[in-house]
Structure formats: C-alpha cells, structure tokens
Amino acid sequence: MHAKLRRHTQKGELLLAFLAYLRSERGLSESTIEGYTRHLTQFLESLGPRKGLTKTTRQDVHHFLASLDPALSSSTKAHYFSALRQLCRFMQLDYNMRRDPMLGLRSPRQWRTLPRVLSAEEAVKLIEQPGAHSDQYISDALNLRDRAMLELFFASGIRLSELTGAKCLDLKLKLRQLMVHGKGSRQRSVPFGIPAARALDAYLHDGRPDFKRADRSPFLFISYTVSITNQRVCQTLLR
C-alpha cells in the first residue's frame, strides 16, 4: 500500500506523514489506520496527478463522496468522511492548507436499526418464568437466583455485564440501591423497586447460602458449583 502511495509523489508523502501522525500522536489502531489508508488512497487517485492535497477544494471532496458506490452502507461512507475530515485538519495545522474543504459538508447519516423491545406482558412472563419453588433442592436455589437477576435487570436497566459483575458490597438492599461499576471505571448508584428488593431478599436468605462455596467470593450472583461470595457480608446487608 505504501508503494502505491509513493507513486503519487508529493501527495503520497504527505499522506504517509498523516498516517504516521495517526499512529504516533493519535494512537489509533492498525485496523483503523489501514481503513484510512484505503479510503484516502482512493481520494488521491480521484484528484488526478496534477492537483496537490493542499489545493483540495470542497468541490473535490463533494465529487469524491458522490462517486462512491451507492451500495456502500451509510457507516462505510461515514468512515470515508471521517478519514477526509481528519486529513484536512492535519493539512491545515501542519501544511498551511488555507481553507478547510470539509467546512459545511455533513457526514452521511447512519441509520441504525432500533432493537426490538419486550412488551409489558412479555417482560412479566419472562420474569415469572423461573419457578418459585420446585421439588428439587438445587432448583429452588437456582430459581430464586434467576428470579432475583431478572427482577433487578428489568428494574434497574443496567447492562448485562454490570449485572453479572455486581458484588455483595455494591448492594444496599434496605435503600433499594445498587452501586454499578460501568465502563471506564465510572460508578453510579442505581435504584430499584420493591419487587426486585423482595426477590433479592429471598435469594440472599433462602437461595444463595445453599450454593457450594458461596462464602468465598465477593460476587452477588453465582453459579451453583462456582464460589463467588462472602456469606457474612451478604447477611450484614439484610440487617
């Protein structure tokens, strides 16, 4: 790819300098840089042999974006737009490009498919799916755990990873609050309602203590065979 860029002489060298900037100064991943390289090489070819990058106009950019394959997804077209925008900013800062040719141009709109949400009836049916009690001793504990997980999941709106990563010390049952550890080590206190509190209370009293080695791990929700929580800590939360 770099050999292909160098055939563009000065334009190719400028683009190589831009890619080196992305790698060393911006710390972008190699996959992102490879994508930028492909997109911007196409743009260089669209300019022709005589026009330099610093002379790029808004019309050049507009014509290039309009010439892209209509079958490309809106997200792919947005990647082209982002690559061009970053390049033009770089040229303005380091190579005295007088005007930003991207000024006034809008990124292609990215249409996102909305996820299907459960109806109220479906949500209730899902929460009530775990049986309250069965004839099997192990199933009783698992049912209490699953009911507590579903109730808390729907009541709080937290991510699945946040639910499974919750610890006993994060739970304030009397206050009906859960301290959630989200992305980027950010923490937030999330409230939940009475039904979730009742399900959690039943799980901590009658379900979790029956799990094998439940007294050796800090996590709130555990599998039947894997140790995850300090039982004494959980019991203090119930007082």
User: One fold for both 2-94 and 120-237?
Assistant: no
Q: Give φ, ψ of 101 to 5 degrees.
A: -70, -10
pLDDT average, residue stretch 110-125: 68
Secondary element (H or E) of residue 177:
strand 177-181
Give the count of alpha carbons within 13 A of 7, CB side only: 8
Give me the pLDDT at residue 50, please: 72
Q: What is the token pair recorded at 43?
A: 């743009």
In contact, 43 and 84? CB cutoff 8 Å: yes
142-188 pLDDT tens trace = 888 988 999 999 899 898 889 988 999 999 999 999 999 877 678 89
- DSSP-derived secondary structure letter, 180: E
List 167's β-bridge partners, or say none: 219
120-149 pLDDT tens trace = 777 777 777 655 444 455 568 888 898 899
- Domain-wise residue ranges, the chain: 2-94, 120-237
In contact, 222 and 158? CB cutoff 8 Å: no
- Nearest to 99, CA basis, from 66, 60, 65, 64: 60
Q: What is the CATH number of domain 120-237?
A: 1.10.443.10
CA distance 129 to 147: 8
Give me the pLDDT at residue 178, please: 95
Q: Which pLDDT band holds residue 224 (cuts at 50, 70, 90)?
A: low
* Residue 145 CB partners (closer than 8 Å, separation 6+): 203, 207, 208, 211, 221, 222
CATH topology of domain 2-94: DNA polymerase; domain 1 (1.10.150)
Measuring CA to CA, how many Å separate 208 from each of 20, 49, 177, 226? 55, 72, 19, 12
pLDDT average, residue stretch 63-86: 88
30-74 pLDDT tens trace = 888 888 899 988 988 888 777 777 788 888 888 898 898 888 888
Secondary element (H or E) of residue 46:
helix 30-47
CA distance 13 to 197: 63
Secondary element (H or E) of residue 190:
strand 187-191
